[in-house]
């Protein structure tokens, strides 16, 4: 699926209610979720940003009889204004089809949180999105805990806020230092505070995300313009 399609009409996010700092990333997250069946989001906030893109992208698999997509969100705090029974889906026509979201309240640095997320997911995730505290220490602790337990050679790891004020933050060092041999680091976006990724190498499913192991990938913005 070419990334130009990230602006396709099927993308129906209610952007007026979205977190302004992530709106630019949502079409890309949506596009990636459309290729996945199991997505794990660590740091969901109030479910008014990345979660919406993942829910909508995964929902498109829902009609396929061979797929049983699941989306699990983890956070320290319950999302405000979104009843955990999922009844808020009714306000979003494109999301009302989603019957597979689960929420785990817990600390991303605790093994018990990983165990609960694994139980909810029921399988290893295709995509893991991390957007919690953007410090070297927290990112290192999260990757050291989650990578061996949920990661596979085919897992796509995504990280928000890797590129701030025109440069990498120290969190990005922790990611690059932990890049497995099976993966390569890529900047998928440098706007919206950056979206970094550990992309499985030699995997046709994600190969369009990699143009070189350290190069910036030139992807369109939400408006269809090339990323800076």
Distance CA 131, CA 50 (A): 9
Alpha helices in the chain (DSSP H): 26-33, 50-59, 111-121, 136-150, 170-177
Of 73 and 155, which CB lies nearer to ligand SAM in the complex structure? Answer: 73
On whether the CB atoms of residues 130 and 43 are closer than 8 A, the answer is yes
Q: Which long-range contacts (CB under 8 A, 24 or more apart) does 64-67 make?
A: 67/37
User: Considering the rule CB under 6 A, would residue 109 count as an interface residue with ligand SAM?
Assistant: yes
Of 139 and 210, which CB lies nearer to ligand SAM in the complex structure? Answer: 139
Of 100 and 129, which CB lies nearer to ligand SAM in the complex structure? Answer: 129
User: H-helix or E-strand containing 160?
Assistant: strand 156-160
Shortest distance, position 126 Cβ to ligand SAM, whole Å: 18
Part in contact with ligand SAM (CB under 6 A); list of ranges 80-88, 107-115, 169-177, 206-214: 107-115
- The residues, ordered by sequence, that sit 6+ positions from 147 with a Cβ below 8 Å of its Cβ are 178, 180
Distance CA 127, CA 129 (A): 7
Q: Decide the pairing of beta strands 156-160 and 70-75.
A: unpaired
For tokens 């983890």, the residue is: 74
Of 159 and 206, which CB lies nearer to ligand SAM in the complex structure? Answer: 159
Listed residue (190, 186, 228) closest to 211, CA to CA: 186
User: Considering the rule CB under 6 A, would residue 196 count as an interface residue with ligand SAM?
Assistant: no
- The tokens describing 200, both together, are 């499985």
Q: Which of 32, 40, 50, 95 binds ligand SAM (CB under 6 A)?
A: 50
Q: Which of 37, 108, 120, 155 binds ligand SAM (CB under 6 A)?
A: 108
Part in contact with ligand SAM (CB under 6 A); list of ranges 44-52, 57-65, 90-98, 118-126: 44-52
Site string for ligand SAM, 1-40 (x = CB under 6 A): ------------------x--x------------------
Of 108 and 155, which CB lies nearer to ligand SAM in the complex structure? Answer: 108
Interacting residues toward ligand SAM by CB under 6 A: 19, 22, 43-45, 48-50, 74-77, 107-109, 131-133
């Amino acid at each position: 699926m070419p990334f130009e399609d990230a602006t396709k009409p099927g993308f129906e996010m209610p952007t007026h209610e979205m977190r302004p700092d992530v709106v630019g990333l949502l079409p890309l997250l949506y596009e990636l979720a459309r290729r996945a069946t199991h997505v794990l989001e660590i740091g969901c906030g109030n479910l008014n940003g990345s979660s919406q893109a993942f829910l909508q992208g995964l929902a498109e698999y829902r009609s396929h009889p061979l797929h049983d997509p699941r989306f699990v969100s983890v956070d320290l705090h319950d999302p405000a204004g979104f009843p955990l029974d999922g009844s808020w889906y009714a306000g979003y026509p494109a999301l009302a089809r989603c019957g597979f979201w689960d929420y785990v309240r817990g600390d991303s640095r605790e093994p018990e949180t990983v165990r609960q997320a694994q139980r909810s997911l029921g399988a290893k995730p295709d995509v893991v999105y991390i957007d919690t505290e953007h410090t070297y220490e927290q990112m290192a602790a999260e990757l050291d805990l989650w990578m061996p337990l949920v990661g596979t050679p085919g897992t796509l790891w995504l990280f928000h806020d890797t590129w701030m004020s025109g440069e990498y933050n120290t969190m990005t060092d922790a990611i690059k230092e932990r890049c497995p041999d099976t993966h390569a680091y890529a900047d998928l976006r440098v706007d919206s505070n950056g979206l970094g990724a550990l992309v499985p190498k030699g995997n046709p499913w994600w190969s369009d995300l990699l143009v070189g192991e350290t190069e910036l990938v030139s992807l369109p913005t939400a408006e269809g313009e090339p990323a800076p």
